[in-house]
Chain A
């Protein structure tokens, strides 16, 4: 007992280290960085502002956006906090959005701040603002989610799962791709569809057809720490295939006089690299399975031969997607797939010899061998063709 009392006394005399009350904090869930007039402009999305202060215990939380400017990111945050009556709390950031300018020129500065700052956890998602100011993204209200940051992060998450156009990249993944040998980061991008000023209004939420909304766009590719450009749809899909991020996606193939749509419901990619010869040979093997979900063709798909034909077409389509994305990477001299990293892991001595010329020489020259194996499990609920008789 004496020991317990002694312990309590010792604890009491230390004071309350790091004590905070929750209602003194401004919980930031979104963070956007723009670069305007040689200054950083940060936009902080505070999510625990309480606009409807009624006696009703079910108070509705809503968001508020604060901006600050400064020569450094820390200074900009301090500038923004001048307008906030609470302490800004950055641990719960969900998304970090970079404007394309920041992504091009100031990536390292941004990473340095978030990596060094002890409060932030590094599991938030990264995105690039596509053709708009990064800060504007938080100003668009959305009818489906309470907070704009959640709207963005959930959208990225669900697209990752169901579309395979973009995939979720956390800050950690991003930094890893930057710091590791022979790999460059790719992150999703977001665009505003419609007018920013209209989207800022409360009515935007109430309308059945919102005036403006956010839309997830294709992947943004980096070369080292510099953003180089957005990919198109096919290239994005190809990147997803090579990086083994596909879970479900649509493969659309032309067949006879119409089309056949295959929905993949499982895909696994294995990449191997052969460095025996002078020119490295990259082997990509994709194992997918899928279902036919839409047919616009006057062919009955009841015969094995027909299904085999569709299967081959699907395989060719996947092959095309992968080839376009590799071509994009080769043209831009950026190894966004981490082939170089594989060589580094396999034979670092060889990698040290070639690493300076990898992206602009050997990678461009490298042979790509693509092997697709698509399994069509079912062909949907009907065999026949839908026709008017």
Chain B
């Protein structure tokens, strides 16, 4: 509770924060009453403070006489986000959020006025999920902007944003967005309960929640899809999914996610159905190639060369001639150097760009083959596998593919094609064991929901897709009414 004495209150607030350098206090005498306002220089905008407070406390206001300064100020300050509070905890939350707190001597309450400095970037083009044709805007770190980007797409009164604060210290706002009459009530409740149960000191990004709300043991493959595209979120909301917006994170989580979601791009919805379906099938193919090629290559080269046609085998054998390492080592050298290259490429400052690609392409590709360390076919296999892995946007799935690729290689080099089949069984059973919010990870493949294939696996023309995916929602399922 605030003190009635204004000096005591202000000193207490300063003490609470250890007299931090960015706390600024201003005192004014108004009609013989002491009035003070306090704000954090780092998060507040000077312009706004002068705009709102300067005017309200200016000469012409001072010349009037009030009976009740507090009430008067409350009513006259032209700020739409005006709050009244009396707890130190809340005051500090407001100060950190860029509010200015106004104290009047003799009152144990304070007025908080929004004077936030603009610390956010503007809405820019999506960098991690680019599309050729379609909306280009993407979320940024501003929570309200993010909500706004969704609101302006879905102007339905049933679009709910339920907000809770997560993180004892960061007090991060997390908003649960769903369309009330589409989304599954049970899932919403379950998710809310989960979020409320989280007792963590801080949430800095949406990815924190990604790990905290899953039910299974942590798996290698990402179980919750995250996107920075408002159009993807809106599409998901319309299909009955729940979106999680986290303050200060440009990524929005979509729940429940299934494996098929990772094979979809918002661009699919904007391009021609046949082309989009073809691209999706390509992505599935790329997934299989990315995971299995090095493993199968090793298995075939070391155990099951019978499966190769004559000329191919001879061609492989000739290329292998003179290479001093076993095939596994060769593949491992290539995979590890490729992964290092990729990691370096992601982390390096942009000015150093060209050197890495030159070194990578020249040394790993050409020189290694010419020096006889690696057979050319291995370069082809690893490049094929790596390029296929790049067909996905989510770095988590790219890295998950890498892990499984190495597991496939391990089994392939120990047991040949039998090993590949074994690890494939392990892989599929692992996938099948995952679920988020009671939705199996492999839906609509297993459990088989052929009707959902129209939009989840393939992409049929929009006039053929009349219903929302059946695994997401049971109510209000009609998406498109077709006049018979």
Asked whether, in the complex, the Cβ of B369 is within 8 Å of the Cβ of A57, the reply is yes
Assembled-state Cα–Cα distance A148/B386 (Å): 38
A8 within 8 A of B: yes
A55 to chain B minimum Cβ distance, whole angstroms, is 6
B376 within 8 A of A: yes
Question: Which residues of A, 22-66, contact B by the 8 Å Cβ criterion?
Answer: 22-23, 25, 27, 29, 47-48, 50, 53, 55, 57, 59, 61
Given contacts A22-B320, A48-B321, A57-B376, contact A4 B426 (CB under 8 A): yes
Asked whether, in the complex, the Cβ of A50 is within 8 Å of the Cβ of B321, the reply is yes
B277 to chain A minimum Cβ distance, whole angstroms, is 35
Given contacts A57-B376, A59-B319, A61-B314, contact A21 B302 (CB under 8 A): yes
A7 within 8 A of B: yes
Asked whether, in the complex, the Cβ of A91 is within 8 Å of the Cβ of B305, the reply is yes
A295 to chain B minimum Cβ distance, whole angstroms, is 42
B139 to chain A minimum Cβ distance, whole angstroms, is 34
B271 to chain A minimum Cβ distance, whole angstroms, is 39
Which residues of chain A are near B370, meaning CB under 8 Å?
55, 57
A39 to chain B minimum Cβ distance, whole angstroms, is 29
Question: Which residues of A, 80-97, contact B by the 8 Å Cβ criterion?
Answer: 89, 91-92, 94
Question: Which residues of B, 380-436, contact A by the 8 Å Cβ criterion?
Answer: 410-411, 413-416, 419, 422, 426
Which residues of chain A are near B314, meaning CB under 8 Å?
27, 29, 47-48, 61, 92, 147
Which residues of chain B are near A8, meaning CB under 8 Å?
410
Q: Which of B310, B323, B326, B327 has the most CB of A within 10 A?
A: B310
Question: Which residues of B, 304-332, contact A by the 8 Å Cβ criterion?
Answer: 305-306, 310-311, 313-323, 326-327
A1 within 8 A of B: yes
Which residues of chain B are near A277, meaning CB under 8 Å?
none
Other-chain residue from B311, B320, B326, B414 in contact with A11 (beta carbon distance below 8 A): B414
Asked whether, in the complex, the Cβ of A27 is within 8 Å of the Cβ of B313, the reply is yes
A300 to chain B minimum Cβ distance, whole angstroms, is 50
Which residues of chain A are near B321, meaning CB under 8 Å?
23, 48, 50, 53, 59
Query: Which of A12-20, A260-268, A321-329 participates in binding chain B?
Result: A12-20
Q: How many residues of B contact A (CB 8 A)?
A: 33
Asked whether, in the complex, the Cβ of B369 is within 8 Å of the Cβ of A19, the reply is no
Assembled-state Cα–Cα distance A353/B416 (Å): 52
Asked whether, in the complex, the Cβ of A91 is within 8 Å of the Cβ of B306, the reply is yes
Asked whether, in the complex, the Cβ of A121 is within 8 Å of the Cβ of B306, the reply is yes
Which residues of chain A are near B315, meaning CB under 8 Å?
61
Question: Which residues of A, 109-124, contact B by the 8 Å Cβ criterion?
Answer: 121
B340 to chain A minimum Cβ distance, whole angstroms, is 24
A84 to chain B minimum Cβ distance, whole angstroms, is 14
A150 within 8 A of B: yes
Assembled-state Cα–Cα distance A11/B370 (Å): 35
Measured CB to CB, the nearest residue on chain A to B307 is A91
| Chain A interface bracket (under 10, 10 to 19, 20 to 34, 35 or more) | 20 to 34
Asked whether, in the complex, the Cβ of A23 is within 8 Å of the Cβ of B313, the reply is no
Measured CB to CB, the nearest residue on chain A to B410 is A8
Asked whether, in the complex, the Cβ of A20 is within 8 Å of the Cβ of B414, the reply is no
Asked whether, in the complex, the Cβ of B302 is within 8 Å of the Cβ of A19, the reply is yes
Asked whether, in the complex, the Cβ of B426 is within 8 Å of the Cβ of A48, the reply is no
Assembled-state Cα–Cα distance A57/B415 (Å): 30
Assembled-state Cα–Cα distance A7/B327 (Å): 23
Measured CB to CB, the nearest residue on chain B to A63 is B314
Which residues of chain B are near A53, meaning CB under 8 Å?
321-322
B122 to chain A minimum Cβ distance, whole angstroms, is 44
Which residues of chain B are near A12, meaning CB under 8 Å?
414
B217 within 8 A of A: yes
Which residues of chain A are near B303, meaning CB under 8 Å?
17-20
Given contacts A11-B414, A12-B414, contact A94 B310 (CB under 8 A): yes
Assembled-state Cα–Cα distance A22/B312 (Å): 12
Asked whether, in the complex, the Cβ of B414 is within 8 Å of the Cβ of A50, the reply is no
Assembled-state Cα–Cα distance A103/B446 (Å): 57
Measured CB to CB, the nearest residue on chain A to B309 is A92
Which residues of chain B are near A92, meaning CB under 8 Å?
305-306, 310, 313-314
Assembled-state Cα–Cα distance A53/B217 (Å): 54
Asked whether, in the complex, the Cβ of A22 is within 8 Å of the Cβ of B301, the reply is yes
Asked whether, in the complex, the Cβ of A61 is within 8 Å of the Cβ of B302, the reply is no
Measured CB to CB, the nearest residue on chain B to A53 is B322
Assembled-state Cα–Cα distance A7/B414 (Å): 12
Which residues of chain A are near B306, meaning CB under 8 Å?
91-92, 121
Which residues of chain A are near B316, meaning CB under 8 Å?
22
Asked whether, in the complex, the Cβ of B217 is within 8 Å of the Cβ of A59, the reply is no
Measured CB to CB, the nearest residue on chain A to B220 is A1
Measured CB to CB, the nearest residue on chain B to A3 is B426
Asked whether, in the complex, the Cβ of A1 is within 8 Å of the Cβ of B318, the reply is no
A-B contact pairs, 15 of them (CB 8 A): A17-B415, A17-B416, A23-B322, A23-B323, A25-B317, A47-B310, A48-B314, A57-B319, A59-B318, A61-B318, A89-B305, A92-B305, A121-B306, A147-B314, A150-B311
Q: Which residues of B contact A (CB under 8 A)?
A: 217, 301-303, 305-306, 310-311, 313-323, 326-327, 369-370, 376, 410-411, 413-416, 419, 422, 426
4 smallest beta-carbon distances between A and B, as pairs? A48-B317, A23-B320, A22-B320, A61-B318
Q: Which residues of A contact B (CB under 8 A)?
A: 1, 4, 7-8, 11-12, 14, 16-23, 25, 27, 29, 47-48, 50, 53, 55, 57, 59, 61, 89, 91-92, 94, 121, 147, 150
8 extra interface residue pairs, beta carbon distance < 8 Å, beyond A4-B426, A21-B301, A25-B305: A7-B422, A14-B415, A19-B302, A22-B305, A25-B317, A48-B314, A50-B321, A89-B305
